[in-house]
Structure 1
Amino acid sequence: MTRPFSVALLAAAALSLGGCATAVPPVEVTRFHNAVPGWAPGTRYAVATSPLDGPGAAMPSLEWNSYRAAVDQQLQRLGLVAAGANERAPLLVRVSFDRSEERGAARRSPVSVGVGGSTGSYGSGVGLGLGINLGGGPKAMADLQLAVRIDDSASGQALWEGRALTAVPVKAPAAQPSLAAAKLAEALFRDFPGESGRTISVP
Structure 2
Amino acid sequence: MQKQALALTALALLAACTTNRFEADVTRFHMTQPGLRGSIHLEPIDKAAAGTLEFQNYASAVNAELAEHGFSVAPGRDTAEYIGVLAYGQTMREGIGGGSPVTIGIGGGTFGRNVGVGLGTSFGIGEKKSKETAINMLALKIERASDKSIVWEGRAVAEAGSTARYGPLPEAMPALADALLRDFPGTSGQTVTYKSE
What is the CA-CA distance between 1:79 and the residue it aligns to?
A: 1.8
Q: 1:184 to 1:36 in 2, by over 3 A?
A: same
Q: 1:119 to 1:65 in 2, by over 3 A?
A: closer
* Aligned counterpart in structure 2 of residue 31 of structure 1, from 14, 28, 33: 28
* Distance in 2 between residues matched to 1:110 and 1:174, nearest whole Å: 17
Unaligned stretches of 5+ residues in structure 2:
114-128
Match of 1:111 in 2: 102
Q: Secondary structure at the residue paired with 1:112? A: coil
* Aligned counterpart in structure 1 of residue 87 of structure 2, from 84, 90, 96: 96
Match of 1:172 in 2: 164
* Distance in 1 between residues matched to 2:73 and 2:180, nearest whole Å: 19
Q: Secondary structure at the residue paired with 1:26? A: strand
Deviations 1:30-87 (A, max 9, x none): 00001225335xx211112xx226xxx7625444333222111100111211011476
Q: 1:99 to 1:195 in 2, by over 3 A?
A: same
Q: Quick check: which has more Rg, 1 or 2? A: 1
Q: What is the RMSD of the two structures over their aligned residues, measured on CA atoms?
A: 3.3
Match of 2:188 in 1: 196
TM-score between the two structures when normalised by the length of structure 2: 0.73
Question: Amino acid of the residue matched to residue 173 of structure 1?
Answer: R
Q: What is the percentage of aligned positions where both structures have the same residue?
A: 32
Q: 1:37 to 1:153 in 2, by over 3 A?
A: farther
For the Cα contact (< 8 Å) 1:164–1:187, is it kept in 2?
A: yes
Do residues 81 (structure 1) and 72 (structure 2) align? yes
* Distance in 1 between residues matched to 2:172 and 2:131, nearest whole Å: 18
Q: 1:86 to 1:184 in 2, by over 3 A?
A: closer
Deviations 1:157-183 (A, max 9, x none): 111010100110011111233431111
TM-score between the two structures when normalised by the length of structure 1: 0.72
* Distance in 1 between residues matched to 2:106 and 2:21, nearest whole Å: 30
Do residues 158 (structure 1) and 150 (structure 2) align? yes
Unaligned stretches of 5+ residues in structure 1:
123-136
* Distance in 1 between residues matched to 2:77 and 2:148, nearest whole Å: 19
Match of 2:45 in 1: 52
Q: What are the within-5 Å matches in structure 2 for residues 101-140 of structure 1?
A: 101-109=92-100, 111-116=102-107, 139-140=131-132
* Distance in 1 between residues matched to 2:169 and 2:27, nearest whole Å: 21
Give the total of aligned pairs: 178
